[in-house]
Structure 1
Amino acid sequence: MKMRNVVHELWLFGLKQAYACMFGGFLLAVMILTSFWYPIEGLHRYDFLFLAAVAFQIFLLITKLETPREAIVIVVFHVVATIMELFKTSDGIGSWSYPDEFVFGIANVPLFAGFMYSAVGSYIARIWRIFNFEFSYYPSKTATIILVSLIYINFFTHHFFWDFRWVLFGLTVFMFYRTHIYFRIIKSHRHMPILLGWFLVALFIWIAENIATYTNIWIYPNQVSEWNMVPITKLSSWYLLMLLSFVLVSLVNNIRICSADESRRPEVNASSRSLHH
């Protein structure tokens, strides 16, 4: 491939990634802006973030920049995430906290918090469509649902019993070590190990988390007195959450399986090599 074509493809890859991150990028931009300048009296910052997220979602649907199916994914993520947030921020657990006041919220959790997780689900749903995902050696949906159910349960139970996240990592590697994800930038499908893809996304989420805690959106116990970088060990949690998010999105998307031979033939029509689980 000529260098010019490589640069062009990388440029398009970046543009499509940015397009897929539209909702998450909007939330992060508003968080940063309101941390330096927030002039609205009588409306708490957290409540403004909630209303801004809802308004932006309506805008995306009206302009058809987001599909109804992707909106459903966001609602599901908001519910699942809020349940976990209620537990993690409860007085008896206190994994993190929201230091500012709010009206739109439940217990210790402002309602906009669920949108931060929804941004991850929105990204996966959009990137799935934009890059026309296909897979090789993808496990059965039943097996993946069992795995992510255990991951979700462990987010709660590790506070009281043994943390078996490393067992879950082992199961993840065992199930997905052969799985490649195929993504189409222009015409041909490129591919990478899905385990690597999840790690790269988890890394970017960790970076975004550092920005969010720096802007005082939420804080961990070690950040109450002064801000400190979120430990790199949090990547393990984000990686598992990334896997959970991916499988949840897979439940509303067709998993198209690309055979090893066909994956090297971009001219083959995708519909002719798709198996719907």
Structure 2
Amino acid sequence: MSCLFPVMIFLTLAISKMIEVPIIKRYDFILIICLAVQILLVVFKIETMDEVKVIFVFHLIGLALELYKVHMGSWAYPEEAVTKVFGVPLYSGFMYASVASYMCQAWRRLELRLVNWPSTWLVLLLSAVIYFNFYTHHFIYDFRWILGGLVLVVFYKTFVYFTVNQKTHAMPLSLSFVLIGFFIWVAENIATFFGAWQYPNQQQQWEIVHVGKISSWLLLVMISFMIVALLKHLKENRTHENIKQETIEKSAK
């Protein structure tokens, strides 16, 4: 259930690749399906409005990164579409949003709880530096491995507790970053196979995505999780403050 949004995107990519959709361009069709799925997830209360707000933030972050990376020639979207801006189809933002959707859903369904979470200012600073490294590495040194090492240092005491079948398990948060990054790399291979986008070495025929891309996804997962965790913590603190204020008002009456 937590992976419902990403699965729907994969199905749409696969079906639209194998079966030509009449009248409408493929990328435009994918965007319509993504929008419809997002609406249905809210209508059927599979996603909450708070989760949609988080997903929207990731849509914007992902779209900005897509515009830059396509401009720099890191990858391309070769097919024509009406909903294509500076070479980037608008559905691309939903691929980043689907990662946020998974994290929000998993957080709620698995009752995630973090122990020994670092200082908020440190997490914000680290997230910002990792994100901007995706832009700056085209001009200066690529700090991805150094940043990855810093994340391991910052979060080496942090554990995530999650519940499956009424049993609570624990995992080092850094390990969860690695595992999610690996499975997104697997998903990326599936997505490029179905023509979601193309790397330069895939223009003539499809090839497996270089294993080094796992490091990029690892950093992206770190950013995603840190943003979701911060928003969750802010919401919890706001809720606690509201409860505290209501208690004080009742006592005063």
Cα deviation 1:202-259 (Å, max 9, x = unaligned): 1111011001111111000011111110011100000000001101112321289xxx
- How many residue pairs match? The answer is 237
Give yes or no for the alignment of 1:179 onto 2:158.
yes
* Contact 1:89–1:96 (Cα < 8 Å) also in 2: yes
How many Å separate the matches in 2 of 1:108 and 1:146?
Answer: 31
Output the amino acid matched with 1:115. Answer: F
Amino acid corresponding to residue 237 of structure 1 in structure 2: S
* 1-structure distance, mates of 2:203, 2:231: 40
Superimposed CA distance per residue, residues 139-168 of structure 1 (whole angstroms, 9 cap, x where no aligned partner): 122111110100010000000001111110
8 Å Cα contact 1:182/1:191 also seen in 2:
yes
Alignment of 1:85-164 (within 5 A): 85-90=66-71, 93-164=72-143
- Of 48, 51, 54 in structure 2, the residue corresponding to residue 70 of structure 1 is 51
In structure 2, what is the equivalent of residue 165 of structure 1?
A: 144
2:3 is aligned to 21
Q: 1:68 and 1:184 mapped to 2: Cα distance?
A: 24
2:215 paired residue number:
236
Structure 2, gaps ≥5 residues long: 241-253
Q: TM-score, normalised by structure 2?
A: 0.90
Question: CA-atom RMSD, angstroms?
Answer: 1.6
CA-CA distance at 1:75 after TM superposition: 0.7
* Residue matched to 2:60: 79
* 2:30 match: 49
Q: Normalization by structure 1: what TM-score?
A: 0.83
More helix by share: 2
Q: 2:198 aligns with which of 216, 219, 222?
A: 219
1:185 Cα deviation after fit? 1.6
Distance 1:183 1:58 in 2: 28
Q: Tell me the secondary structure at the aligned position of residue 254 of structure 1.
A: helix
Match 2:16 to one of 13, 23, 34? 34
- 1:172-229 per-residue CA deviation (whole Å, 9 max, x = no partner) reads 0110112110001233421111111111111111011001111111000011111110
* Amino acid across the alignment from 2:169: R
Deviation at 1:73, TM superposition (A): 1.3
SS of the residue aligned with 1:227? coil
Q: What secondary structure, in the 3-state scheme, does the structure 2 residue paired with 1:226 have?
A: coil
Structure 2: which amino acid aligns with 1:201?
I
Aligned to 2:39: 58
Structure 2 distance, partners of 1:253, 1:164, is: 28
Q: Distance in 2 between matches of 1:176 and 1:255?
A: 19
The sequence identity of aligned pairs, in percent, is 40
Say if 1:232 and 1:255 are closer, same or farther in 2 by CA, change over 3 A: farther
Deviates more, 1:221-230 or 1:187-196: 187-196
Q: Does residue 1:254 correspond to 2:223, yes or no?
A: no
Inter-partner Cα distance in structure 1 for 2:120 and 2:109 = 22
Give distance in 1, aligned partners of 2:220 and 2:93. 14
**Structure 1, gaps ≥5 residues long:** 1-18, 257-270, 272-277
8 A Cα contact 1:177 1:195, kept in partner? yes
Q: Deviation digits for residues 79-136 of structure 1, max 9, x if unmatched?
A: 011111110001xx10000010111121110000000010001100111111111112
- The 2-side partners of 1:131 and 1:232 are apart by 29
Aligned AA (1:22):
L
Matched AA of 1:239: L
Counterpart amino acid of residue 153 in structure 2: F
Going from structure 1 to structure 2, the CA distance change for 1:113 and 1:227 (only over 3 Å counts) comes to: same
